[in-house]
Amino acid sequence: MSMSIMQTIREKGAKVTVVLIAIALLGFILTDYFSGKGRGGFTGGPQEIGKVNGKSVNYDLFNKRVELMENNMRSQGYPSSPALSQQAMEQTWNQEISRIVLAQEIDKLGMRISKKELGDILYGPNAPSDLKQQFSDETTGQYNPVLAKQNIDQMLKKGTQEQKDNINAYINDLEEQRKQEKFVMLLANSVNYPRWFIEKQSADNSQIAKVSMVKEVYTSVPDSTIKIEDKEIAAYINKHKDEFKQEESRGIQYVTFSAAPSAADSVETKNALEKLKPEFENTTNMEQFLAGEGANNYYNGFINGKAIQIPVKDSIFKTPVGSVYGPYLDGGNYVLAKVEGSRIMPDTVKLRHILVATVQRDPQSGQSYPVRDTASAKQRIDSIQTAIRNGSSFDSLVVSLSDDPGSKDKGGVYENVPSGQMVSSFNDFIFLNPVGSKGIVKTEFGYHYIEVLSQKGGGMGYKVAYLPKEIVASQETDSKAQNDANIFAGDSRDAKSFDETFEKTLKPKGYVKGIATDIRRVDGDIRGLGFSRSFVRNIYEADGGEVLKPERIDDKYVVAAVVEVLKEGTQSVTKARPQIEPLLRNKKKAEVLKQKVGTVTTLEAASTALNNAPIETVDSVRMSSKSGATALSFEPRVTGAAFNPANKGKVCPEVLEGNSGVYVIRVDEVSTTPVTDANIADKRKILSEQGKQMISNPQSPSYPVNALKKAATITDKRSARY
């Protein structure tokens, strides 16, 4: 009962959704109960990090959720970094909001889980995978619900109070998950498309019209002739406040001063590597030598040349065995490569194996922990080898004895393994021995009994040792960048002098001024600059127009001026103008063009009034503006007028204001075509199923939590702690 639950919970956490995050967290706690460690609970007392509809979010609990999320991300291969921590915090916050607003709605409905249903959740066929793994028969792999219940009952009866609280919290969150699933399905099952609606839609879609028209586009009226006043923008915002909500944010202008390695720094690194070349070529302990130089990724095995992806690999392959190629440039490093061996080897291998582990690796932290001593492992693998020689079933032994979860349920088989994927000793056994070879191999994970089943392809393979040296900036390079940034910041007292100084002293030298907007108080990653929480804090501590002191972000010093300070609420006229002005301008242009046409009589008169605009005929106009004639695509007002019975056979009595211009139309003909989707029952079923899927999908705009989040009152205090 050691780490199996933790591994499962963490693997689940990589795919966690709104309704699962709490379960993953408490499963994490439950792991420690099962393993007998006990984490001591959440300490520090209640500390509020925010509120959602009046419900306080506790910092300690929230922080544990963030840690779990970050662990899940790392288990998927994302490298640890401040940016990853920030992303984990952001995702956890969004999930916490979703969890709370859903729970509040569920409470209003009075949803409950009965004892019988709880028993099904814990001990039924769809029991949580962590419990299934923890309480499954080692031989058959089948879940033993009786054993699970006995253990859980024992925990609740004889455990410490903290342990009881943890297991009760775990069970409560399983109940919460089930209630949330019920809530979503309750809404999903309410989706209905009435028969009359489908019939009307089919009838509308069967109609087809032919129209003649005169069109004048808005671009025919120069923008310079149309003025939009601030009060007009303000009036539009006032009528559409929901469309112009804004979060608190800030915007900056900035200039960067590179502290990246210079050409001289590059030469210095190359020369340093040249001095190491003789020792690298003659060392008798490559692993120890590389480790001493800080290179800890030495792969002491053969890799097929086809699988080696290095730009200079052809030159390396031509290097005699025992000799060194380089230094050569690879990204931000100079590298030496020593060819330690070459030989013919297959491209891929199919194998099966049984692992008797001495250690296992925690997929979240990457740390290894012992599971048995070396002597016991060697004794067991020797017994397995003897049993197989004496006729025991390999498949049965895999199921009962192998410690490799990646192949245990596949008979220990790995298909099409490329060279370099397995640890080096394992790799060399399967690639350097012929098909049918069997034997014991020791790796960092324990002892493996391996059988080579088949091999494909072939080509030259190489064992190559690499010694990289990163090209780093010298102190001189860094000092120059910092000094240049300090001079510019000193000459820039405010946003105005920031611009003036830039134009006068930096722009002629090729510097570029950048802009970053919509920087939130809790952000860390700034578009175009990189990650720095301290920089964002400084932006928010400054006033509008203030110039910040130079700050190091990645390989550059940044001098920034705060040029935009937006408070939570409704957008200002200045902020909203770029979005609203084109709409109002087209509205005014439409009025100008309508006045030119005057009273609508005939298409010919409209054509004359609009500078002899051509009279066009458009066939196959359909009710849906996005289908049918291209000339009227995305012009719903025009297509709507075409199917107005009052306009049939006539000129529409008003000038129609479209999206791209104004229209005067005559409806020449309206007829019907056969309906291709006349099976009303089938169409209702399809639309209903699509509607249910949209509501049930957390990524869909129709997912209930999105509406709940939009309506929620949220207080965010994360910036004080992160």
DSSP class per residue in 107-158: HHHT----HHHHHHHHHSTT--HHHHHHTB-TTT--B-HHHHHHHHHHHHHH
| CA 517/CA 564 separation, integer angstroms | 8
The alpha carbon of 347 is separated from its chain's Cα centroid by a whole number of angstroms, namely 34
| CA 663/CA 618 separation, integer angstroms | 13
| CA 710/CA 33 separation, integer angstroms | 38
| CA 66/CA 25 separation, integer angstroms | 9
| CA 377/CA 311 separation, integer angstroms | 42
Q: Is the pLDDT of residue 20 over 60?
A: no
Q: Is the pLDDT of residue 10 over 60?
A: no
Per DSSP, what are the bridge partners of residue 714? 52
Residues 6+ apart with CB under 8 A from 75: 10, 11, 13, 14, 363, 364
Over range 618-623, report the average pLDDT.
Answer: 87
Q: Is the pLDDT of residue 160 over 90?
A: no
Please, which pLDDT band fits residue 40 given cuts at 50, 70 and 90? very low
CB 260 within 8 A of CB 473: yes
Over range 512-525, report the average pLDDT.
Answer: 94
Q: Is the pLDDT of residue 48 over 70?
A: yes
Containing 441, the helix (H) or strand (E) segment is strand 438-443
DSSP letter at 222 equals -
Tell me, what's the pLDDT at 8? 30
| CA 630/CA 184 separation, integer angstroms | 40
Number of continuous H segments (helices) and E segments (strands) in the chain? 24, 25
Q: Is the pLDDT of residue 16 over 80?
A: no
Averaged confidence pLDDT in the chain: 88
Please name the amino acid found at residue 85.
Answer: S
Over range 662-682, report the average pLDDT.
Answer: 85
Please, which pLDDT band fits residue 488 given cuts at 50, 70 and 90? very high
Q: Which of 49, 597, 589, 546 is nearest to 250 (CA)?
A: 546
60: Cα within 13 Å, side-chain hemisphere: 8
The 3 state secondary structure assigned to 618-671 is: EEEECCCCCCECHHHCCCHHHHHHHCCHHHECCECCCCEECCCEEEEEEEEEEE
Dihedral of the CA atoms 164, 169, 170, 175 (nearest 10)? 130
Please, which pLDDT band fits residue 77 given cuts at 50, 70 and 90? confident
| CA 62/CA 55 separation, integer angstroms | 13
| CA 548/CA 96 separation, integer angstroms | 34
Please, which pLDDT band fits residue 227 given cuts at 50, 70 and 90? very high
Tell me, what's the pLDDT at 721? 87
Integer-rounded Cα radius of gyration of the chain: 35
Please, which pLDDT band fits residue 140 given cuts at 50, 70 and 90? low
Tell me, what's the pLDDT at 676? 61
665: Cα within 13 Å, side-chain hemisphere: 30
| CA 720/CA 47 separation, integer angstroms | 11
Tell me, what's the pLDDT at 362? 66
Q: Could you tell me the domains of the chain?
A: 4-188+714-720 (no CATH), 203-237+574-672 (no CATH), 249-260+474-567 (3.10.50), 263-343 (no CATH), 348-456 (3.10.50.40)
* pLDDT tens string 164-189: 887 887 888 888 889 988 999 999 99
Please, which pLDDT band fits residue 28 given cuts at 50, 70 and 90? very low
Tell me, what's the pLDDT at 678? 58
| CA 103/CA 107 separation, integer angstroms | 6
Whether the bond between 582 and the residue before it is cis, its omega within 30 degrees of 0, is no
| CA 47/CA 496 separation, integer angstroms | 42
Please, which pLDDT band fits residue 161 given cuts at 50, 70 and 90? confident
Over range 84-109, report the average pLDDT.
Answer: 92
* pLDDT tens string 112-134: 999 999 999 999 988 888 788 77
Cα angle: 110, vertex 113, 118; to 5 degrees: 170
Helices 195-206 + 680-696 axis angle, to 10: 110
Rounded to whole angstroms, the maximal C-alpha distance in the chain is 102
Backbone angles phi, psi at 440, to 5 degrees: -105, 135
Residues 6+ apart with CB under 8 A from 126: 120
Tell me, what's the pLDDT at 29? 40
* pLDDT tens string 452-480: 999 999 999 999 999 999 999 999 999 99
Q: Is the pLDDT of residue 27 over 80?
A: no
